[in-house]
Structure 1
Amino acid sequence: MDEKNKQYERVFNRFDENRDGKISASELRLCLGTIGWEISESEAEAVVLLADSDGDGLLGLKDFIRLVEGTEEVEKLKDLKEAFKMYEETDECGGIGGSITPRSLKRMLSKLGEKKSIGECEFMISQFDLNGDGVLSFEEFRNMMA
């Protein structure tokens, strides 16, 4: 078992108060409450229901690991969306254009202290522009950041 899974197992064992090898909704709720994450009993039950792979209404270690890693992926996706918004083109009215253009990339890099020409920005975008439209969509940005 790798170090990351060992850490998950240690956390799992802390949540598993009755030491039955499973985490119930009430155990999940109680442990999350100790770290400041207040969730209702029905929310805890919904989390367990979604992550429970064998239908027993409890989380085994593998369920718990999938749940934690899924939560990490959701957080990474949120962070990527926020980063994308920083670079994204806006129209004159302040609306979001949905892509990173050479102009918006140049503007953001300039704010970060990097002086690039439009041509340099076009080249940077072309390295990850999978559909050849000259701009980066969120999916292309996500691939670039992977």
Structure 2
Amino acid sequence: MDKHQEYERVFNHFDENKDGKISPEELQQCVKAIGGELSREEAEVAVEVLDTDGDGLLGLEDFIRLVEEVGEEEKVNDMKEAFKMYEMEGCGCITPKSLKRMLSRLGESRTLEECKSMIAQFDLNGDGVLNFDEFRVMML
């Protein structure tokens, strides 16, 4: 089953009245089912923002856009958490020293020179450290 079919299956599950659209109430149930919480107002705003045909409901394509946007947001949040683990020096960047320390914690022994070389591959602005955007490029 490809991603589109999977999204369609989820969409059909939450389309309680089987009208081919998801209402704000159905969206609330969907979010609740995955352990989240969405107020009536938040559900209405989400539907309003994503509704491409202006009928106040989410069609399948609108729903897929929502799921993919949420997934992308979660990936970025996960990357921010990972970045914080590597950063360690409070400078907002990954230095060769902080990279060496983190890799050592993960059981990967590297020299400071090796860490400088690893950083240089993704150091887009040439400052010798990785900022979050450079780290994100490296993780993709």
The TM-score normalised by the length of structure 2 is 0.94
Structure 2 equivalent of residue 85 of structure 1: 84
Q: Tell me, what secondary structure is at the counterpart of 2:53?
A: coil
Structure 2 equivalent of residue 108 of structure 1: 102
| Structure 1, 101-110 or 50-59: larger mean CA deviation | 50-59
| Structure 1, 131-140 or 34-43: larger mean CA deviation | 34-43
What are the superposed Cα offsets for residues 64-88 of structure 1, whole Å, 9 maximum, x if unpaired? 0000011100000000000000011
Query: How far does residue 35 in structure 1 lie from its aligned partner after superposition?
Result: 4.0
Give unpaired runs (5+ residues) of structure 2: none
Query: How far does residue 89 in structure 1 lie from its aligned partner after superposition?
Result: 4.1
Matched, 1:57 2:56: yes
Structure 1 equivalent of residue 29 of structure 2: 30
- What's the % identity of the aligned pairs? 64
RMSD: 1.3
C-alpha distance in structure 1 between counterparts of 2:74 and 2:62, whole Å:
18
Query: How far does residue 31 in structure 1 lie from its aligned partner after superposition?
Result: 3.3
The one-letter amino acid of 2:122's match is F
Q: Tell me, what secondary structure is at the counterpart of 2:99?
A: helix
Query: How far does residue 34 in structure 1 lie from its aligned partner after superposition?
Result: 3.7
Give unpaired runs (5+ residues) of structure 1: 91-95
Query: Of the candidates 115, 123, 132, which is equivalent to residue 121 of structure 1?
Result: 115
* Equivalent residues in 2 for 1:92-103, closer than 5 Å: 96-103=90-97
Q: Per residue, is there more helix in 1 or in 2?
A: 2
Are residues 113 and 52 of structure 1, via their aligned partners in 2, closer, same or farther at CA, if it must alter by over 3 Å? Answer: same
Query: How far does residue 38 in structure 1 lie from its aligned partner after superposition?
Result: 2.8
The TM-score normalised by the length of structure 1 is 0.90
What are the superposed Cα offsets for residues 31-60 of structure 1, whole Å, 9 maximum, x if unpaired? 333443332111111211221122221101
Query: How far does residue 107 in structure 1 lie from its aligned partner after superposition?
Result: 0.9
Structure 2 equivalent of residue 93 of structure 1: none
